[in-house]
């Protein structure tokens, strides 16, 4: 560690010559399937994580073998929009170089797992050939920009997608390191001196940065979970007049460290489309300069805003952008979920939303979904959109093709009559690939839901929309603290249960019970389901009910997330 107390990652970034490090050399080292520790931090900025198959760890340790190293690659897909050709190419790459499956993520992109070091360049070249890349899909930079993908409100949606793309392009790192290292591009003579990162500088941002664009009434992008957000404000004709700007949302926290907490974003003001890019850049540069570079657990924008106050932050953003923000305009969100099945656009074309359980695209017994999606992509001349809920929209389907598309999707189980709980479920990847996972998530949530569905059916609640999300650790990749039922891994087979979040994504949940195993989760929820069936008011959602009926206390925007936890009755004296 050097003389000041910046975190180790700050030195790695600074010494990396704009994200080059020793990646090029590391790729040619044939002795190991891994790369150096410092390069493991840098490779994230190129959209990759070094992982190992944790299922294989015991056996490989026994045989004194190196861990089964492989890389996860995350593609950059602003707004989640792909052409059918891009879909087909990613599917091919997954089968040629990855573990054969594709993973749709909660932030509207595709992850490919299991790519060994010696196939990385071929993989990235194949991705480049379809005009996609993985630049800044991970790392301390602006990540994939999300956008409401439902094109049925066509004009507002087009404006939102344009903004998402413009913000994404504007905040892309300028370094040519990606092209040099992965695509065999020429290194620009003089290297470091030639590069300028006008927005980021040499050390990029203190931490990851996430931006979304929402089109009310849908909050499918979960705007309050993100560092920066734009909410489309529409006039009577459905045209966008400008954007409310949100700042300071984030999910990640650490068990047992109450200084870390999820936080919902604040609405900071309103700007016109013309000023939106300047505002986005100013928010990013204020965070670049004010964010905490000593403690990575305190380095997200949410803590900067808590520490400095929203008014001070807003004034600095306005000063740097050179434009004042107007007071925020009224808006209403109604849900965070997807609308499955067909919606018809203003132009007569149809959009088919398909349920992909936990975003995993694969062929399993009785559900050849990967094959079916390949068939659809071959027949399709519209686009394919990844939703923020790990699902897919086959968008812009001409009327004459709709019946056949529906038949194929139905046969593969992507339009099955799922329960209201399963329709609204998400899980992060967790085991076996994620090195941070404390418990299963993607592989376990389907079974837990089967048990919960039985309880819900017993109370006549099968059709009710209830949002459930699970993650294997408190980092919160599937945004569990914004789910009406949130489950967060604590250790093998053990989960913390969170309740009381709002259905429209505007309020966080609160810890209800710790360290529950499967039977404990079902037992904890059963009396609340029963009460909900008997006592709920007309249209009342499960998260709101859990608070009104006194099961759990209400959380504000996050600093109070760890206050008044536990089943409410036991805290009655403290209230």
Q: Interface residues for ligand HEM in 394-453 (CB under 6 A)?
A: 428-429, 433-434, 436
Q: Is 445 one of the binding residues for ligand SF4 (CB under 6 A)? A: no
Q: Are strands 228-234 and 363-364 parallel, antiparallel or unpaired?
A: unpaired
Q: Is 138 annotated in the active site?
A: no
How far, in Å, are 140, 457, 529 from residue 483 at the CA level?
26, 20, 15
- Which one of residues 7, 106, 133, 387 is an interface residue with ligand HEM (CB under 6 A)? 106
Q: Where does 238-345 show beta strands of DSSP type E? A: 240-247, 266-271, 341-344
User: Residue 72: how many CB atoms within 10 A of its CB?
Assistant: 23
* Residue in 434, 469, 507, 554 annotated catalytic: 434
Instruction: Kindly provide the residue ranges of all beta strands, DSSP E only, lying in 187-319, ordered along the sequence.
Output: 211-214, 228-234, 240-247, 266-271
Touching ligand SF4, residues 457-486 (CB under 6 A): 471-473, 475-477
- The answer to whether 210 is a known catalytic residue is yes
Interacting positions 57-76 with ligand HEM (CB under 6 A) = 72
| DSSP letter for each residue of 455-499 | HHHHTT-TTS---EEEESSTT-TT-GGGSSEEEEEEETTEEEEEE
434 is catalytic: yes
Q: Which of 504, 427, 496 is nearest to 465 (CA)?
A: 504
Contacts for 287 with CB less than 8 Å, ≥ 6 apart: 205, 206, 209, 227, 301, 304
**Minimum distance of ligand SF4 from residue 358's CB (angstroms):** 11
- Catalytic residue, chosen from 374, 428, 469, 490, is 428
Q: For residue 143, which of 250, 14, 11 has the smallest C-alpha distance?
A: 250
**Among residues 46, 76, 107, 288, the one that binds ligand HEM under rule CB under 6 A:** 107
**Among residues 132, 356, 437, 468, the one that binds ligand SF4 under rule CB under 6 A:** 437
441 binds ligand SF4 (CB under 6 A): yes
Q: Say which DSSP state 209 is in.
A: B
Which letter does DSSP use for residue 238 in this model? S
Kindly state the number of chain residues that form the binding site for ligand HEM, as judged by CB under 6 A. 22
Of 6, 76, 210, 374, which is the active-site residue?
A: 210
**What is the x/- site pattern for ligand HEM, positions 358-397, by CB under 6 A?**
-x------------------------------x-------
| Least distance in angstroms from the C-beta of 49 to ligand HEM | 5
Say which residues have a Cβ less than 8 Å from residue 380's Cβ, sequence separation at least 6. 84, 394, 397, 401, 405
Q: Is 249 in the site for ligand HEM (CB under 6 A)?
A: no
Contact between residue 69 and residue 40 where contact means Cβ atoms under 8 Å apart? no
Residue of 186, 203, 396 whose CA lies nearest to 289: 203
- What's the min distance (Å) between Cβ of 474 and ligand HEM? 8
By residue count, the chain amounts to 575
Active-site residue, selected from the candidate residues 6, 20, 44, 143:
143
Nearest to 209 by CA among 281, 129, 294, 317: 281
Q: What is the DSSP string of 58-102?
A: HHHHHTTPPP-EEEEEE-B-GGGEE-HHHHHHHHHHHHHHSSS-E
Decide if residue 476 touches ligand HEM (CB under 6 A).
yes
Instruction: Report the residue number, 7 or 153, with the smaller CB distance to ligand HEM.
Output: 7
**Helix, strand, coil % in the chain, rounded to nearest 5:** 35, 20, 45
Task: Assess whether 302 carries a catalytic annotation.
Answer: no
- Active-site position among 74, 76, 293, 423: 74
Smallest separation, CB 546 to ligand HEM (Å): 23
Q: Which is nearer to ligand SF4, 84 or 486 (CB)?
A: 486
Q: With beta carbons less than 8 A apart as the criterion, state whether 480 and 471 touch.
A: yes
Residues 563 and 575: their CA atoms lie apart, in Å, by 11
Considering CB distances under 5 to 8 angstroms, the limit depending on partner class, which of ligand HEM, ligand SF4, none binds residue 225? ligand HEM
Q: Is 57 assigned a catalytic role?
A: no
Residue 475 interacting with ligand HEM (CB under 6 A): yes
From the candidates 6, 208, 469, 507, give the one annotated as an active-site residue: 208
CB of 162 to ligand HEM, least distance (A): 23
Using CB under 6 A, which of the segments 325-333, 361-369, 474-482, 548-556 binds ligand HEM?
474-482
Does 49 engage in binding with ligand HEM (CB under 6 A)? yes
Q: Which is nearer to ligand HEM, 369 or 433 (CB)?
A: 433
Q: Does 137 bind ligand SF4 (CB under 6 A)?
A: no
Element at 160 (helix H, strand E)? helix 154-170
Residue 287 C-beta: closest distance to ligand HEM, Å: 16
Binding footprint of ligand SF4 on the chain (CB under 6 A): 428-430, 434, 436-437, 441, 471-473, 475-477
Binding footprint of ligand HEM on the chain (CB under 6 A): 49, 51, 72, 105-107, 111, 225, 251-252, 359, 390, 428-429, 433-434, 436, 475-479
Q: Which residues are catalytic?
A: 74, 143, 208, 210, 428, 434, 473, 477
């Amino acid at each position: 560690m050097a003389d000041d107390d910046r975190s180790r990652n700050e030195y790695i970034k600074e010494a990396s010559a704009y994200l080059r490090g020793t990646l090029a050399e590391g790729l040619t080292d044939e002795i190991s399937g891994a790369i150096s520790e410092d390069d493991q931090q840098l490779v994230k900025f190129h959209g990759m994580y070094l992982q190992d198959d944790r299922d294989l760890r015991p056996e490989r340790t026994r045989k004194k073998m190196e861990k089964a190293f492989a890389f996860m690659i995350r593609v950059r897909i602003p707004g989640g929009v792909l052409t059918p050709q891009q879909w087909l190419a990613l599917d091919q790459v997954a089968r040629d170089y990855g573990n054969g499956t594709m993973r749709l993520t909660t932030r509207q992109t595709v992850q490919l797992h299991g790519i060994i070091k010696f196939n990385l360049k071929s993989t990235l070249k194949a991705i480049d050939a379809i005009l996609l890349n993985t630049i800044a899909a991970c790392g301390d930079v602006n990540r994939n920009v999300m956008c409401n993908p439902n094109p049925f409100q066509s004009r507002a949606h087009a404006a939102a997608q344009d903004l998402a793309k413009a913000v994404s392009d504007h905040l892309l790192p300028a370094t040519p390191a990606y092209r040099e290292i992965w695509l065999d591009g020429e290194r620009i003579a003089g290297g470091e001196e030639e590069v300028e990162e006008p927005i980021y500088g040499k050390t990029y941002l203190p931490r990851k940065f996430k931006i979304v664009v929402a089109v009310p009434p849908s909050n499918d992008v979960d705007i309050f979970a993100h560092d920066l957000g734009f909410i489309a404000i529409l006039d009577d004709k459905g045209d966008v007049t400008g954007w409310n700007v949100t700042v300071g949302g984030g999910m990640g926290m650490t068990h047992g460290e109450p200084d870390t907490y999820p936080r919902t974003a604040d609405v900071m003001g309103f700007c016109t489309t013309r000023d939106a890019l300047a505002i986005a850049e100013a928010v990013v540069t204020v965070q670049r300069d004010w964010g905490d570079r000593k403690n990575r657990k305190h380095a997200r924008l949410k803590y900067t805003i808590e520490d400095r106050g929203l008014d001070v932050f807003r004034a600095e953003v306005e000063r740097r952008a050179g434009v004042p923000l107007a007071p925020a305009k009224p808006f209403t969100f109604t849900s965070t979920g997807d609308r499955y099945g067909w919606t018809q656009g203003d132009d007569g074309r149809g959009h088919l939303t398909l349920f992909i359980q936990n975003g995993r695209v694969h062929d399993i017994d009785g559900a050849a979904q990967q094959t079916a999606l390949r068939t659809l992509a071959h027949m399709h001349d519209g686009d394919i959109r990844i939703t923020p809920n790990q699902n897919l929209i086959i968008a812009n389907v001409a009327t004459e093709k709709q019946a056949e598309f529906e038949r194929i999707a139905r046969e593969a189980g992507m339009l099955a009559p799922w329960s209201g709980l399963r329709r609204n479920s998400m899980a992060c990847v967790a085991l076996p690939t994620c090195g941070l996972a404390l418990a299963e998530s993607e592989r376990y949530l389907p079974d837990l839901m089967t048990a919960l569905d039985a309880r819900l059916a017993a109370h006549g609640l099968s059709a009710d929309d209830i949002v459930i999300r699970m993650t294997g650790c408190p980092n919160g990749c599937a945004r569990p603290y914004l789910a009406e039922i949130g489950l967060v891994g604590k250790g093998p087979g053990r989960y913390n249960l969170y309740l009381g979040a709002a259905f429209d994504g505007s309020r966080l949940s609160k810890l209800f019970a710790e360290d529950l195993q499967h039977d404990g989760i079902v037992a904890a929820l059963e009396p609340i389901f029963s009460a909900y069936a008997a006592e709920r008011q007309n249209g009342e959602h499960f998260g709101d009910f859990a608070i009104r009926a006194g099961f759990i206390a209400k959380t504000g925007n996050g600093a109070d997330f760890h206050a008044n936890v536990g089943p409410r009755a036991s805290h009655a004296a403290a209230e």
